[in-house]
Amino acid sequence: MKAMVLAAGRGERMGDLTAVRPKPLLDVGGRALIEHHLGALAAAGFDEVVINLSWLGDQIVAALGGGTRYGLVIRYSAEGPEPLETGGGIFRALPMLEERADGPFVVLNGDVWTDYPYRSLRDRFGDGLPAGDVAHLVLVPNPEHNPAGDFAVSGDRIVEPGTRGDGVAATPGSASRYTFSGLGVYRASLFASCEDGIFKLAPLLRAAARAGRVGAELYEGDWLDIGTPQRLAALDDRLRATR
C-alpha cells in the first residue's frame, strides 16, 4: 500500500513565510513539517511515498532526495507552475500510486499535523476497501476556524446532505457534521470520470457519498490544520517544549 503527501500548494495564508520557501519545508519542532509525515509513514510500515510538486517544488526534491534517510522510496509527481488542486493532483499521480488495479492508497495533506496511527489504515484497508466503496475519510471534531464542518456522517458512512434555502448545507436527521482531516484512503475508480487538469476532490467525494460509496471514521486525537503563521508558531512552541 502506497501513500501520497500533498505538497504542491503555495500556502498563501502563510504570507511571507512561503514566499521563498515551500510550506512543507517550514520548520516545526526542529524539523521540516513534511519530515514529520515521512517519519510517521515509515514507522507505520509504508515504504513508498509519492509527493506532488508545484510551488518551489525543486526545493522539496533537494531537501528530501530519494527518501533513503527516512527509510522510504520517494517519487515525485510534477504539476508544473500551477497546482492542480487536490483532485487533479491525485489524478496526475495515479500511475505511481496503484499497486494493483483499483487497489487502495493513502493520501494526506502536507499542511496538517496529527498523531493519527497510519498503520491502522494499512491494517484495515491494505487488502482493499469494503466492496463498492471508493473512499474512506478520516474526520475530526470541528475546529474553531471551521465550525460548520465539511461532511455529514451517519454511523460509519459519509452521507451527502441537502442544502437549505440560504445555501448552507443541511445535515440529515441522524447525522453529525465533522471536518475532513485531509487524510483518506482512495481507489482510482473514484476518478474514473476525470481528465488530467485542475479540479477539486470534494465534488467527487460528495457524488460518491450520494451513491453510498464513502466510509468514514472520527478521530479525536491530536490534529491541527497548519493554515496560518500563528498556528505554525503555536505548534512549534508545543513540540519544542515536549522534546
Tens digits of per-residue pLDDT, 178-236? Answer: 999 999 999 999 999 999 999 999 999 999 999 999 999 999 999 999 989 999 999 99
Share of the chain above pLDDT 90, in %: 87
Residue appearing with cell numbers 498556528 = 231
User: Looking at the 3D structure of the chain, how many domains does it have?
Assistant: 1
Q: Identify the CA nearest to 114 among candidates 77, 82, 141.
A: 141
| Full domain range(s) for residue 43 | 3-242
Contact present, 223 and 114 (Cβ < 8 Å): yes
Contact present, 126 and 104 (Cβ < 8 Å): yes
Which pLDDT score is estimated for 91?
Answer: 98
Contact present, 37 and 107 (Cβ < 8 Å): no
Identify the helix (H) or strand (E) that includes residue 183: strand 176-186
Round to whole Å and give the CA distance between 82 and 154: 37
pLDDT category of residue 147 using cuts at 50, 70 and 90: very high
pLDDT category of residue 13 using cuts at 50, 70 and 90: confident
CATH number at residue 113: 3.90.550.10
